[in-house]
Amino acid sequence: NMAAPPITAEELEDLREAFTKIDVDNDGVISKDELDAVLKAANLSLPGYRVREMIQELSKSSEELNFDKFTEIVHGLKSAEVAKTFKKAITKKEGICNVAGTSEQTGTQHSYSEEEKVAFVNWINKALEKDPDCKHVLPMDPNTNDLFTAMGDGIVLCKMINLSVADTIDERTINKKKLTPFTIQENLNLALNSASAIGCHVVNIGAEDLKEGRQHLVLGLLWQVIKIGLFADIELSRNEALIALLRDGESLEDLMKLSPEELLLRWANYHLEEAGCGKINNFSNDIKDSKAYYNLLNQVAPKGDEEGIPPIAVDMSGLREKDDLKRAELMLDQAERLGCRQFVMPTDVVRGNPKLNLAFVANLFNKYPALKKPENQDIDWSSIEGETREERTFRNWMNSLGVNPRVNHLYADIDDALVIFQLYEKIKVPVDWDRVNKPPYPKLSSNMKKLENCNYAVELGKKEAKFSLVGIAGQDLNAGNRTLTLALLWQLMRRYTLNILEDLGDGQKVIDDTIVSWVNDNLTRAGKSTISSFKDGSISTSMPVLDLIDAIQPGSIRYDLLKTEDLTEEEKLNNAKYAISMARKIGARVYALPEDLVEVKPKMVMTVFACLMARGLRA
Ligand SMILES: *[C@@H]1O[C@H](CO)[C@@H](O)[C@H](O)[C@H]1NC(C)=O
Ligand SMILES: *[C@@H]1O[C@H](CO)[C@@H](O)[C@H](O)[C@H]1NC(C)=O
Ligand SMILES: *[C@@H]1O[C@H](CO)[C@@H](O)[C@H](O)[C@H]1NC(C)=O
Ligand SMILES: *[C@@H]1O[C@H](CO)[C@@H](O)[C@H](O)[C@H]1NC(C)=O
């Protein structure tokens, strides 16, 4: 005789709703004869004789039928006869809450998913549990709207961004004490510009949306931030053991082209195959019965063959459970023993919520990849290169503009130039979409179709954008020639940046010198040293950047936190981290990384000053 699973918060809400419907005078008690009505209101159908029996039973005691008694009764039923109908009653509701009028521009209704909110709240509560700076809002209650209020001052969001991509936000730049509307605004700027810098698409979301807790926007941004963190290590260059997933006849390059989602699916199937089970095609329909999950957990659980990690034997008896929801609950109990009960509730498994199940699996992978780097002689390890800082910056930049598909691998994912065309549109170069081949490409001529696109992309660059593309052909983009692809991407990013300045300056043409002289003018008037160009050696200390920030927003830089002379490499990096975060905090959407300043990379240095100038012109 199995104990009934506890009533979830969501179910409880449904029961409460039903109870209030019947409890018309609102005194918290209903008549025992109304049991039938309240069960019906909760969509729990029982045969009439059963209900009559229960009412008889109730009337023997002097206890009143209040809400607690009602849930107790339902809990008793849950293990037995109504389990099926109960499940139906709650799965009927898709868990989508409608929020009216959250977007003033369009007046449309936006919906957000209640279960996502619950999942993210639990994840954040755990991730920031020990962070003293979040004590004022944590732990949040997943059953309320705590999350949306808690996000309002920007601190939690900054922390989550920094957890997803370590060292993105300099601790010193977050305003933590005695918050005012102004310092909150700064935190939100810092959060949004940093989110953008790690590749979140933040074009349609502003500080106001966070401050006012617009649910669908907050959840959308959080999901992006969390996903970037979860996916960070699902990448061959970060985890060479992923080579174990290579299939016969496949090259390393093929494997490296897979998106994190594809790699996860392959990883799950690798373990399922080892367990002698059938494959799954997705983390929605195919995992609803928890059977694949059971086998996956069993495969990846520590076996005691690694020093210092005690074995955990997964109890598979729940596989015999007939009811999907109960089986899911039992499976999650096992996940809990592995410390991996995250993101999904039993109902999310049974409904196959794709987003939350993806997160569940990604987290499981991160904790227990259970892959061994094969001792294969044929593998050329040197060909597995991680991406360079420059490549990452370009990739984050285009992703933050919302290109579709998202670019996971710089060269492979733009080999059909579709993303390049979207970037052309962002810099106001018109694209004739009739000339563009679109996926799915025919199998036999797929590369030819992509190449045609690449040729057109180069043509647009030369003729319309007037880029300098000497010696670049469509072939180079298509084949992913690094140097030449980067040359095109740089010109796109540069033009994008200059366009912003030109728009602010009423269309006046802007070149590098325009920026240098604006910067120097501002620095001079503030009584600071100037720069000779974007290659000026003094930039490696970040002082010119910091001085400019302080000139644009006087008093913003805390010089007492900085070393300004005779800096070691470490101190330079320390200044640079502070400078980049401060730039974002005063409202400049900077994509460059601290190392770019320390090493005085002229291109990235140019973008930093250009973004600050844009911020200055907007002031
Ligand atoms: C960001 O992450 C780095 C490295 O993990 C850490 O040193 C720093 O304190 C973190 N900053 C914030 C604001 O949490
Ligand atoms: C998941 O895969 C199954 C086949 O294994 C398919 O029937 C189903 O439509 C897929 N669901 C989604 C959402 O892709
Ligand atoms: C990329 O193109 C440049 C210039 O044409 C050439 O020198 C280089 O060898 C190419 N790289 C690869 C990997 O083909
Ligand atoms: C620097 O530029 C900003 C923005 O244009 C302006 O508000 C500020 O006064 C300037 N600083 C100095 C010292 O001129």
Range in 140-149, 156-165, 370-379, 516-525 with the lowest mean pLDDT? 370-379
Query: Residue 155: CB within 6 Å of ligand 1?
Result: no
Q: What percent of the chain has pLDDT over 90?
A: 71
Residue 275 has pLDDT above 50, yes or no: yes
- Measure 71 CA to ligand 1 centroid, in angstroms: 45
Ligand 3 neighbourhood includes 377 CB (under 6 angstroms): no
The atom of ligand 4 lying closest to the CA of 526 is: 13
Model confidence at 309, in pLDDT bands (50, 70, 90)?
confident
Q: Whose CA is nearest to atom 2 of ligand 2?
A: 281
Name the nearest CA neighbour of 346 among 333, 358, 337: 333
Residues 6 or more apart whose CB falls under 8 angstroms from that of 112 comprise 96, 97, 99, 215, 216, 219
List phi, psi (to 5°) of 112. -140, 160
Quote the CA–CA distance of 233 and 507 in Å, as a whole number: 43
Least confident of 206-210, 280-284, 328-332, 415-419: 206-210
Q: How far is the CA of 188 from the centre of ligand 1 (A)?
A: 17
pLDDT value, residue 567:
94
Q: Which residue has the higher pLDDT, 164 or 97?
A: 164
SS3 readout for 22-52: HCCCCCCEECHHHHHHHHHHCCCCCCHHHHH
For residue 87, the model assigns a pLDDT of: 47
Select from 545, 549, 550, 552 the residue to mutate for testing ligand 4; criterion: most ligand atoms less than 8 Å from CB: 552
- pTM of this prediction exceeds 0.75: yes
In sequence order, the β-bridge partners of residue 30 are 65
Separation between Cα atoms, residue 135 and residue 139, nearest integer Å: 8
Residue 302 scores a pLDDT above 50: yes
Pairing of strands 110-113, 96-99: antiparallel
Question: What CA–CA distances, in Å, run from 224 to 229, 233, 430, 603?
Answer: 9, 15, 30, 28
**Ligand 1 site, residue 187, Cβ cutoff 6 A:** no
**AA letter at 96:** I
CA–centroid distance, 283 to ligand 2, in Å, is 9
- pLDDT top residue among 106 and 176: 176
382-419 per-position pLDDT tens digit: 777 788 999 999 999 999 999 999 999 999 999 999 99
Of residues 451 and 374, which shows the higher confidence score?
Answer: 451
pLDDT at 8: 75
616 φ/ψ sector (left φ>0, alpha ψ -120 to 50, else beta): alpha
Q: Would you state the pLDDT for residue 100?
A: 28
Question: How long, in residues, is the chain?
Answer: 619
